[in-house]
Amino acid sequence: MVNLKINGIAVSVPEGSTILDAAKLANVRIPTLCYLKDVQCVGSCRMCLVEATGARGLVTACTYPVSEGMEVRTNTPRVRKSRKTTLELILSTHKKKCLSCVRSMNCELQKLALEYNAEEDRFGTDHDIKPVDDLSASVVRDNSKCIMCTRCVAACDNQTIGAIGPKNRGYAKTIGSPYDVSLAFTPCVNCGQCVVACPVGALYEKSAVADVWGAIVDPDKQVVFYTAPSVRATLGEAFSFPVGTNVEGKMITAIKQLGDVKCFNMDITADLTIMEEANELLSRLKNGGVTPMFTSCCPGWIKFAEHYYPEILPNISTCKSPQEMFSALLKTYYCEKHGIKPENLYVVSVIPCTAKKFEITREELGEYTDAALTTRELAKMIKEAGIDFANLSDGEYDLPFGEASGAGAIFGATGGVMEAALRTAAVKLGGSGAPLQFKEVRGTEGVKEAEYNIGGAKVSVAVASGLGNARKVIESIKSGEKNYTFVEIMACPGGCINGGGQPYVHDEVRNNIDLKTLRAQALYDYDEDRSVRRSHENPAVEQLYKEYFGEPNSHKAHKLLHTSYCKREKY
């Protein structure tokens, strides 16, 4: 352990720790812009500069190692002046459209500029208005607001995609795609990790809010919303609720107050996915099909496989994602049952994911979803409607798509799809004594492995979240090092609870709390409270098969609930 003082506060930290690490233990705040835990630590923004004994000049707290007896000062006049000047230099090249920016009142640069009384025009305004890249179905890039922190680049590199990166040098440095092409023409998988990493408004999702408002007031449209499992655990953050608060009831009430709309529970098609996927896996094992089988719920992962590993496409389940299953169900079964013309039903999914916006444009999935709203976009609509979210009473989902199993809810956390599938497979293979919990596949680690004996059959599984970890798992399978039966992959680290469409979280929060674990715990707690916790026991799903599909993997189920994938170019 190394002993030092931060602003006179004695603290002991492990050898190799940085001044920033020590400051956290001393409960001393040091501002950062380019630093983001688990994403990037390069010390390039110079906001975390401090004075430290034994150092020549000011040093970056995020990279500078502590030493025995060191004394650190984080708030001297010299330090404060340096930070203010840094902010003013950044502002001199920043497009200051703060009032209409998507990050207004939730911008890390704006917050720091206010704290340090930075003059926005001290060094004049010297920036070129760069064209906005909005050709992607999911992500919009406005480089006029970029502050060159490179957090987006690090997030993309951690995903092993490299769709964006630094170009040129010095004052001419910018962030862009190879050959200056739009993100739409790169191997970008639309995961949106760059968006949640960006501290300003240089990256954001392509909004569907105006289209949804238009449909709500259109007398010829019947509008239905359905919400993804993880949204209940994250929407509250946009209204200052503590991280990990389940606001499902308030969310439902708020959606219904947007207009004459119905609100359904996407957990039901998570359950439906398990029915189709588990039976597909059992069929492959019984009939000598291709294994290991990979899950297919995550559109970011699917596009990644199409670009980088087309040889494993036969291994991926043919099931559509829960989003696309639900929309197909609404435009067919629901419309037939209620005498609605499909073209008059406007279907809105509320999702934690920017990749889902791309997914609804895929021709092979059918034109069933009219709009996909991120958690952030739903929060924006609620605020725009003047709804007092914090004081809403709890509402209930509309029938017939209201109640779902706990297994469907945990889809939002990494390992949740695997655990839900194992719960059903264990019953089908092992009988009524099968376990309910498979905790080995829980947790936010990048790769998890487990082996189970279910009904006398050995089932070896792996779970990966984050595409860098997905690549490791795939390479281990290709080399013959690993031999799995079933593999779950989610594009975003931690799964959907950390998706690219989730509420913006300042670096001070992301750097100091375990965001992924707290959000995931809300889903596991929700699961614990359900009376039905296995997908195949969901009465609504049982009714769907009885009335419409007949049985899992039937001809009608394949027509509406399954799909295929295609190879895409890497560049």
User: Which candidate in 359, 403, 419, 488 is catalytic?
Assistant: 359
Nearest-Å Rg of the Cα atoms of the chain is 25
Distance from chain centroid for Cα 36: 16
Q: b vs e for 136-152, b when ≥16 Cβ sit within 10 Å of the residue's Cβ?
A: bbbbbbbbbbbbbbbbb
User: Which candidate in 48, 353, 496, 535 is catalytic?
Assistant: 496
CA distance 499 to 516: 10
Active site (annotated) includes residue 280: yes
- Tell me which residue of 561, 221, 230, 236 sits closest to 371, measured CA to CA: 221
End-to-end Cα separation, the chain, in angstroms: 48
CA distance 248 to 252: 6
- Tell me which residue of 140, 152, 203 sits closest to 34, measured CA to CA: 152
The answer to whether the CB of 353 falls within 8 A of the CB of 299 is yes
Residue 400 preceded by cis peptide, ω within 30 = yes
Token code pair at residue 449: 């492995």
Beta bridge partners of 186: none
Q: Return the residue matching tokens 């940085």.
A: 18
Token code pair at residue 441: 């596949």
E strand or H helix at 176: strand 174-176
Where helices occur in 438-485 by DSSP H, the ranges are 467-478
CA distance 445 to 493: 9
User: Which candidate in 205, 248, 277, 419 is catalytic?
Assistant: 277
Active site (annotated) includes residue 356: yes
User: Which candidate in 119, 343, 364, 542 is catalytic?
Assistant: 364
Q: Return the residue matching tokens 């680690």.
A: 445
CA distance 164 to 414: 26
- Tell me which residue of 189, 297, 209 sits closest to 258, measured CA to CA: 209
Quote the DSSP letter at residue 295: P
Q: Which amino acid is at 78?
A: R
CA distance 443 to 413: 8
User: Which candidate in 95, 356, 357, 516 is catalytic?
Assistant: 356
Q: b vs e for 519-539, b when ≥16 Cβ sit within 10 Å of the residue's Cβ?
A: bbbbbbebbeebebbbbbbbe
E strand or H helix at 338: helix 335-338
User: Which candidate in 17, 230, 296, 317 is catalytic?
Assistant: 317
Pairing of strands 486-490, 293-294: parallel
Active site (annotated) includes residue 364: yes
User: Which candidate in 237, 276, 280, 306 is catalytic?
Assistant: 280
CA distance 324 to 369: 7
User: Which candidate in 48, 149, 297, 298 is catalytic?
Assistant: 297
Burial class (CB in 10 A: 0-12, 13-18, 19+), 499: buried
Determine how many CB atoms are found less than 10 A away from the CB of residue 558.
16
Q: Which residues are catalytic?
A: 277, 280, 297, 317, 356, 359, 364, 496
